[in-house]
Structure 1
């Protein structure tokens, strides 16, 4: 769980604050995932509804972001206000990037591969998108979503890995693909099917029974999971695997949800095939 710390807070000179606070924030090392939120959006109080209950010193933090803070107040509360301003800007950023103009700005960063590439070999360096696992601040750090394998990964850099996931929200990457369907990655490639999401399928061991790996007798509980035996089948592992579920404002994405239902049914099909093979050996 993220803690409310003042880690990586810049201790720049007063001249750093003579420029725009947003420009300074975006140029700070570790904030490369963020895009610039337009000032008109920030100044519209309707867009900030409810944030005053989530951010301490809300008014002063907002004034700092918009460069309207009195210098005397800033000197008294500089450290506290920097933390609260970062929190406020992050929460505003999460709302901004799901608007039409915000999506367009993040699309530019996506095309420039600012968020890195998928580490999975068979995704062939697919560009990633930032996503949060929760919309509540100080709970989970940001993750990176791959539109090809539909899985999530941790950022390589520790600076990026410490960014709060709530600053991007749970809906952003899926809404981007919904608004720009031409960007949805194809699933084509050497991979044999969507069921093999973590890598290539297991290779068979060479043996005297036609190249198939030897099997041990087992009791099946109907789900493909081994009971009373130390053998773990492919179906049993697949059934236990935790899956990332893309959501937009809390609701599963329709087409992806259908694909996931098919994928979750595949281990049961594998279990039935394994049982059929054993009975016909």
Structure 2
């Protein structure tokens, strides 16, 4: 996937441009709170969309729908198909946008407000989460939430957010954000150290967390017959931090050690199961 280079650090403002009616409707739809607003100037620059015509059916019409240039003569039955393709196209454009300088700044605002939720682990001190895809290919994996403190990934609590395609955020976003804003890298212990994350997002984050808890559904895929600790440990997905496809070296070395320790623990649990001690 072709990415634009980060050339400037200006954040801009919403008053600098006007987005389409379709984009405003999409962002205001329930369940799309993770998305940020992609500037229409970015969408209209065809260089930024290189290669997407091979991934999206009815590419030209879907792009016209996003930018409010769709011909009114398009039949209703085609419009329903175009809406699905427009969502796919916007999601793939969004994945490219959020790794630009202006896109990172937009997502930083949402991160400070804890719009993506907070880590459920007690020792993470309500660390804000970041969305991440486990693959850049659409229709393969849903979006996950990455904690920069414990370095684990979690499924969104809301089923609406859990159905978002992970390719709409890509595999590079969290660590590219930390690379551009190194002061955001959370400490491994103690309270959240970034003042804006404490002051700016605490109240809003608590409200969102309460709302997310109300919408949470029981994890029926985990609790059931044949449930044991070993199966859960082996089922857990491991996020491998990558920036444009390349693993982050120090984290990759740490993960190899962590996985070796996990495998030993799983073998120990299997042995205890065999002897009926679990």
Fold similarity call, TM over 0.5:
yes
CA displacement at 1:120 relative to structure 2: 1.4
Distance 1:253 1:79, change over 3 A: same
2:130 is paired with a residue whose SS is strand
1:71 is paired with a residue whose SS is coil
TM-score w.r.t. structure 1 length? 0.68
RMSD of aligned residue pairs (Cα, Å): 2.7
Q: Name the structure 1 match of 2:28.
A: 27
The reply to whether residue 69 of structure 1 matches residue 55 of structure 2 is: no
Q: 1:255 aligns with which of 239, 244, 250?
A: 250
The reply to whether residue 115 of structure 1 matches residue 116 of structure 2 is: yes
1:73 is paired with a residue whose SS is coil
CA displacement at 1:75 relative to structure 2: 3.5
Q: Name the structure 2 match of 1:214.
A: none
Determine if contact 1:239/1:264 at 8 Å carries over to the other structure. Answer: no
CA displacement at 1:54 relative to structure 2: 0.6
Matches within 5 A, 1:234-273: 243-264=238-259
Q: C-alpha separation between the residues in 1 aligned to 2:40 and 2:47?
A: 13
Q: C-alpha separation between the residues in 1 aligned to 2:63 and 2:235?
A: 46
2:64 is paired with a residue whose SS is helix
Q: C-alpha separation between the residues in 2 aligned to 1:253 and 1:109?
A: 24
Determine if contact 1:141/1:165 at 8 Å carries over to the other structure. Answer: yes
Distance 1:122 1:39, change over 3 A: same
**Structure 2: any 5+ residue segments left out of the alignment?**
1-19, 192-229, 266-278
Q: C-alpha separation between the residues in 2 aligned to 1:60 and 1:268?
A: 50
How many pairs does the alignment contain?
A: 209
1:177 is paired with a residue whose SS is helix
Q: Name the structure 1 match of 2:168.
A: 167
Q: C-alpha separation between the residues in 2 aligned to 1:88 and 1:176?
A: 23
2:73 is paired with a residue whose SS is helix
1:72 is paired with a residue whose SS is coil
Determine if contact 1:131/1:144 at 8 Å carries over to the other structure. Answer: yes
Q: C-alpha separation between the residues in 2 aligned to 1:240 and 1:22?
A: 37
Q: Name the structure 1 match of 2:91.
A: 90
Matches within 5 A, 1:172-187: 172-187=173-188
List structure 1 runs of 4+ shifted beyond 2 angstroms: 237-244, 257-270
Higher RCO, Cα 8 Å, sep 6+: 2
**Structure 1: any 5+ residue segments left out of the alignment?**
1-18, 191-233, 271-281
Distance 1:78 1:90, change over 3 A: same
Q: C-alpha separation between the residues in 2 aligned to 1:23 and 1:248?
A: 30
Q: C-alpha separation between the residues in 1 aligned to 2:167 and 2:258?
A: 28
CA displacement at 1:259 relative to structure 2: 2.9
Matches within 5 A, 1:141-156: 141-156=142-157
Distance 1:35 1:74, change over 3 A: farther
Determine if contact 1:239/1:267 at 8 Å carries over to the other structure. Answer: no
